Amino acid sequence: MATVKELKDDALVEIKVNKSFYYMLKNTLFHLFVSIKGEKPEDKENYIKEIMSKPYSELNDEQRSFFTITLAILEIEKVANENNLFEEKEFVVPENPKQD
């Protein structure tokens, strides 16, 4: 027999997240987004709508990963916004972006 530690059912863990970790999560989500199968942008859009409309228990592993990372990023952004931790930066947008 083996023993493992897991969080208690009523546990609520508060963690601090720095900008580097936040960007790691965003990069992970982008990687998951890029890996969504489909030729057209609508395929990815429909895939995301499907994830958001199904109960978590009905999602496959890939969908659960996408959903979980999305929730983590949303919570970080919500708390950062509440604590005025965002800054606006300007950048130049090319007039004719490359179209593939």
For residue 55, what are the CA distances in angstroms to 10, 63, 65, 67, 100? 21, 11, 14, 11, 35
- How far is the first Cα of the chain from the last one, in angstroms, to the nearest whole number? 56
Question: Of 34, 77, 42, nearest to 50 (Cα)?
Answer: 42
Average pLDDT value over all residues in the chain: 92
Six token digits for residue 44 = 């990815």
pLDDT tier at 36, thresholds 50, 70, 90: confident
Alpha helices (H) in 1-100, listed in sequence order: 19-34, 41-53, 61-82
Six token digits for residue 100 = 């593939």
pLDDT of residue 94: 86
Q: Domain spans of the chain? A: 29-82
CB 66 within 8 Å of CB 26:
no
pTM score over 0.85: no
In this prediction, residues 21-47 reach a mean pLDDT of: 91
Instruction: For 9-30, give the DSSP string.
Output: TT--------HHHHHHHHHHHH
